[in-house]
């Protein structure tokens, strides 16, 4: 798989981590992340590209043990990503899967598609997880940090370089 696919999946993993992090606090449940979110930050399709400003929207449906998220990001330089994330939470451990569709403005072809499995652990205010992609695509590492009840930050890396850094706020 190409690097664009890996980065998109990493983005999804980050978002997913943020959602899982919220459930880590004793008073915060996975279902507290239900609703619409909007985020701004930086993103790139591969580790070797330059970062671009991006705007993201996320729609999340969750109960106490499961979450489904759809994240749609649009970069200023033409990178678009659509990520579907499904998570299951057991104690402090979560598992799930992620599918990412990414396309650049220069590309007239169909979007690249990455699929992978998600696993990780949560704490009171953060979640660390790994997205393992199928094939030769390298793993993505995501850290999600809860910043109050209406904001979270998401960072995704691979090969030691940052792929995505977005702060999400709840849309009311």
The CA distance from 149 to 30, in Å, is 12
Residue with tokens 């579907």: 84
pLDDT tens track for 68-79: 989 999 999 999
What's the distance, CA 117 to chain centroid? 12
The CATH superfamily label for domain 3-170 reads: Calycin beta-barrel core domain (2.40.128.20)
Place of tokens 């790139």: 44
* Number of other CB atoms surrounding residue 64 within 10 Å: 10
What pTM value is reported for the model?
0.79
pLDDT in tens, 40-67: 999 988 888 889 999 999 998 888 888 8
Q: Using a pLDDT cut of 90, give the percent of the chain over it.
A: 37
Residue with tokens 């970062």: 51
% of the chain at pLDDT higher than 70: 81
Does pLDDT of 23 surpass 90? no
Domain boundaries, the chain: 3-170
pLDDT digits (tens, 9 = 90+) for 89-121: 898 898 999 999 999 887 666 788 999 999 998
């Amino acid at each position: 798989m190409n690097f664009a696919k890996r980065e998109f999946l990493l983005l999804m993993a980050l978002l997913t981590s943020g959602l899982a992090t919220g459930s880590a606090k004793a008073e915060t449940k996975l279902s507290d992340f239900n609703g619409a979110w909007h985020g701004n930050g930086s993103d790139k399709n591969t580790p070797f590209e330059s970062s671009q400003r991006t705007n993201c929207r996320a729609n999340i449906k969750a109960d106490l043990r499961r979450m489904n998220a759809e994240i749609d990001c649009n970069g200023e330089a033409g990178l678009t990503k659509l990520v579907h994330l499904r998570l299951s939470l057991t104690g402090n451990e979560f598992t799930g899967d992620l599918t990412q569709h990414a396309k650049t403005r220069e590309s007239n072809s169909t979007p690249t598609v990455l699929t992978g499995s998600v696993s990780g652990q949560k704490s009171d205010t953060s979640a660390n997880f790994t997205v393992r992609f199928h094939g030769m695509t390298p793993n993505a590492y995501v850290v999600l940090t809860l910043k109050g009840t209406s904001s979270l930050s998401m960072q995704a890396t691979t090969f030691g370089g940052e792929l995505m850094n977005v702060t999400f706020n709840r849309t009311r």
